[in-house]
Chain A
Amino acid sequence: MRHLPALIIAIPLASAWIVPLTSLVSAWLARLISITALMFTTLACYGSLKHAMTLPGMRWSYTFGGWEASSHGGIPIGIEHVIDPVSGALATLVAALALLTVLYSGPQIPLRRQVRSGVYHGLLLTLTTGLLGMTITGDLFNLYVFLEITALSAYALLAKTGNRATLASLRYILVGTVAATFYLIGLGHLYAVTGTLNMADLSVRLSQVQDSRLIGFALILITLALLTKMAVFPFHSWQSDVYTYAPPMVIPFIAGTMSKVVAYTLFRLFYTICFVDGSVAHHVARQVLDVVGVVAAISLVAGSVLAIAQKDVRRMLAYSSTSQISAVALGLAIGNASALIGAFTLAANHAFAKACLFVAVGNFHHRSGAQNIEYLDRLGIRMPLTGIAFTIAALSIMGLPPTGGFFGKWYLLSGAVEKRAWGYVLAIVVGSLLSAVYFARVIERLYVGSFDGTGHSPSRGGTPRKFSKENLPFLMVAPMAILVIFTILVGFYNYDLVSGLLQYMLPAGVEWKS
């Protein structure tokens, strides 16, 4: 029980090393190991979250190698992992989605290609390790290492099929490395001024630093890096190609979790490190955050506008991700209690709903090879369960009342109104309107089909290959069903989610006026 935070990383990493090895023996064994490993990881994450909630101050720090700062004169010499309500919940979310992805990708990899499936599962496990590490680490350089693990695993997984995916992945490498370099330079500046890499220690020492120009430069660099990784509007171009040409079994996981973990890093950078009242860092960070808010508002609208102009469903969903993650960033930028709760709710809702959308699109593609929107004719009727899953997830992202998206938008709006930021209110309203447009277009196509302008019954949707008769294997439908159920739960039990978990996620400075 004492070692849960370490197990969260140790289990997937140990199995990541073994899986390619066992795949030389039998691919089936490799898949079994990765499934059990991810199951235990999810339990470890949930257990550590539950335990962390009981500790005073809800913060469970675990130092590696026995180098606790407390027993070494208060100097943070080792690397520390911190489990608090936000990182614990996000880690559980990541582990759960990873488990669903492994199950979902099962039937899509031919088992006869042993090494390839072993390598695929190995990379998926390292990707999960990277994301979990980024979520719960308490050390800025350690965060960079896990950022690189995530990025590299993502480059490889995305470049598997086809040469366009290779080009997209190469472009992703270039942009990702620029972002990582900016992060490192920013981190170097912070290290040069404070001498430490541990987040808790850094925030204490940063508050005594008077050089506002250097802190400003460091924060701008790190924020640029994180916004690029989150694919917010001005820096989003790499994402659409990557989501379009990547293998359909990986995209739900990457789309669902990566941008959320990076958004959490942005939250931690500003709210737990910089916001120490009265310090120069606080003042500079506030200004940088306002700029981030403006960029996020523009990206919220621009993302939706770009999504409307797309023909390919996955490219449309990629731009929709840009607009949704900038809504989360906007919540972080506004900063008061309800906006933050809105950002967390939207992040959770988007994780489940977007993963479910990509799984549904993957299922449509699996049976009918439909990629462009006009090939989706009447698929909602021929594949009813996938159609319903797509519609519910779409309604949830649109933000219609009984869904989680609505409550997230409600908190975000009340946060913006509280701050009298009418520009943000307008951006949120216009953004969700536009998101309704591009989703309604697809839903209508799914259920009513296309017209060739002559007004009589819809023409036979020409799908690239014949609609395969045998319906989807169970393992491709079950994850989708689970994701839809979670999307609905985030909506209906939103109050319990907020009062049970999200409420404790608020940083110290922000009070919840209950």
Chain B
Amino acid sequence: MEILMDDRPLYAVLVSLLAVPMIVWSGDRENLREVWTFAAAIFKLALVLSIAAVVSKGSLVVAHPIPLVHGFKLELVADPLGVIFALLASSLWIVTSIYSVGYMRAGKYQHQTGYFAFFAICLSATLGIAFAGNLITFFIFYEILTVATYPLVIHNRDQESVLGGRKYLIYTFIAGQCFLAAIVATGYLADGNLSFSPGGILATRLPGGEYMLPGNPTILRLVFVLFMIGVGVKAAIMPLHGWLPSAMVAPTPVSSLLHAVAVVKAGAFGCLRIVGFIYGVGLMEELGLNDFLAAFAVVTIIVGSLRALGSQNLKQRLAFSTVSQLSYIVLGAAIGSKDALIGAIFHVVAHGFMKITLFFCAGSIYTRYHTYHIPRLRGMGRKMPVTFAAFTIGACGIAGMPLVAGFLSKWNLALGAIHADRTILVAALVLSSLLNVAYFFPIIRDAFLESDDPVSFEECWWPVWIPPVITACCAVILGLNPNAFVGFFNLAELAAHGIVFGGG
């Protein structure tokens, strides 16, 4: 794992920040404003792709650290795990920008300048989280993401969105403070070393195989609980997921990118970072934390799917489906074997593409018929065939059908569970797949089969229905060849190998 000192990760993070003043300056000249967004998005993706090329050959791209606090620096390190998340976020940003231009103009929303400016800030914060080299950098971008997402959640400025925003702030601020307390405690326990290193920094493995613990185990467990509260709110682990369904009041592009890909994935990504790079899989085993985490993950998967089954609002249903899908990643981290980690990391990508497709479809339905109420979707499949086709592909992927990306991650998760002889988790995965089918397929059946009027093409404006098609195709391509485009699967293997074998 030799190191390549290069400032590209820093530029990747800053590029969308530089676009913000341009977007605000160009203000109501919409087309000029959109140009800045796309330019930033494409430039950012190019940078991330160049970094990915280097990282997939097994080396790390490290930016020159900026001194931040006495003893800790702002380190941006592009390692395989970080690159995967960065690739996902920046590629989907382009697609979402196209979609949000169409959605915003079709729906004639106001404050569009503010919308695009805060969107760009969120993306740079997400990149910052992906490339964070140590806990303090991670926390800084984590909190910037929280603050920058708030204006997007309350975009409609009506009562409902403000209440949703308030709930969002309460959850995320509490999480932020617990996370900060945990980070400071870790800084003390690991005496001044906060940087992520594969295999964990807290415990040093003695030759005899057991661990020399820095503090007494109860403090380590307490700190882990604080970490999980800090990360769990964003990763929507069950008791802390309350804000996600009520944050659905945001316009759909926001829900699609942020609440399906960037913000919630930051939580899951954080969970992977803490389990893999701070505590280390072995120490988790030692302290019995992985069973504790796995229990929460399983409960979230099952109950999340049940709640999705119960809600009549399409966006609420998708929100709860996201809650349960995210816990796949948390489950993978909890199991800790190599295949489970590969499954979890790949699920970050797979779920990203599939869930964004579903949200895009929900958005285009809303733009056309101004409703999210599922019973009213009866017979719309014939009127909006393309949207519902993409919806079907997405739904199959989530349910874990082969030929779509979702299948691979579930397969590896199950394989990993068996390797770590926790076969009952496989039962949980199977049950959740059934539940996915239960809450998605009735929609598809009603949409296509219920009405018999002729198939007509009443889609709305092209930028609204093309992005779901693009993401659906990506999901299928990734299903067929996981190493398509930039070799997500290879990067996932590299990352998992690093975590399990301690950066060997």
Contact = CB atoms under 8 A, between A and B. Distances in A.
The answer to A–B direct touch (Cβ < 8 A) is: yes
Nearest to B184: A413
B58 interface: no
B2 interface: no
Contact of A414 (B154, B159, B160, B184): B184
Interface in A437-467: 440, 444, 448, 451, 455-458
Given A425-B181, A429-B178, A495-B67, A418 B160 contact: no
B169 interface: yes
B174 A455 contact: no
A448 B162 CA distance: 8
B157 interface: yes
B140 A402 contact: yes
A414 B188 contact: yes
A401 B154 contact: no
A440 B187 CA distance: 29
B11 to A, nearest CB: 18
A341 interface: yes
A413 B180 contact: yes
A402 B71 contact: no
Nearest to B73: A495
Contact of B69 (A433, A457, A494): A494
Given A448-B154, A451-B162, A456-B158, A417 B188 contact: yes
Given A429-B178, A455-B160, A456-B158, A410 B67 contact: no
A417 B147 contact: no
A457 B110 CA distance: 14
Q: Among B136, B141, B154, B157, which residue has the most Cβ atoms of chain A within 10 A?
A: B157
Q: Among A414, A455, A457, A498, which residue has the most Cβ atoms of chain B within 10 A?
A: A414
Contacts of A417: 184-185, 187-188
Nearest to B136: A410
A395 interface: yes
Interface in B108-129: none
Contact of A429 (B144, B147, B177): B177
Interface in B132-159: 136, 139-144, 147, 154, 157-159
A213 B187 CA distance: 40
B461 interface: no
A321 interface: no
Given A433-B177, A440-B169, A444-B162, A400 B70 contact: no
Contacts, number: 80
Contact of B173 (A406, A436, A512): A436
B287 interface: no
B195 to A, nearest CB: 16
Contacts of A238: none
Contact of A400 (B147, B165, B166, B185): B147
Contacts of A433: 173-174, 177
A407 interface: yes
Does more than half of chain A's interface fall in helix, strand or loop, or is it mixed?
A: helix
A349 interface: no
A338 interface: yes
Contacts of A494: 68-69
B70 A499 contact: yes
Contacts of B144: 400-402
B420 to A, nearest CB: 34
Q: Among B68, B160, B180, B187, which residue has the most Cβ atoms of chain A within 10 A?
A: B180
Contacts of B165: 444
A432 interface: yes
Contacts of B71: 514
Interface string A244-265: 0000000000000000000000
Contacts of B69: 407, 410-411, 494-495, 498
Q: Among B173, B177, B184, which residue has the most Cβ atoms of chain A within 10 A?
A: B184
Interface string B56-68: 0000000000011
B70 A448 contact: no
A401 B174 CA distance: 14
A397 B100 CA distance: 34
A420 to B, nearest CB: 9
Contacts of B68: 494-495
Interface in B166-203: 166, 169, 173-174, 177-178, 180-181, 184-185, 187-188
A111 B166 CA distance: 46
Contacts of B187: 414, 417
Given A433-B173, A495-B68, A499-B70, A457 B162 contact: no
Interface of A: 338, 341, 395, 400-402, 406-407, 409-411, 413-414, 417-418, 425, 429, 432-433, 436, 440, 444, 448, 451, 455-458, 494-495, 498-499, 512, 514
Given A401-B139, A413-B181, A436-B169, 20 more contacts: A338-B70, A402-B140, A407-B69, A410-B184, A417-B185, A417-B188, A418-B188, A429-B177, A429-B180, A429-B181, A451-B159, A451-B162, A455-B158, A455-B160, A456-B158, A457-B157, A494-B69, A495-B67, A498-B69, A499-B67
11 contacts: A401-B140, A401-B144, A409-B180, A413-B181, A413-B184, A414-B187, A436-B169, A440-B173, A448-B157, A457-B158, A514-B71
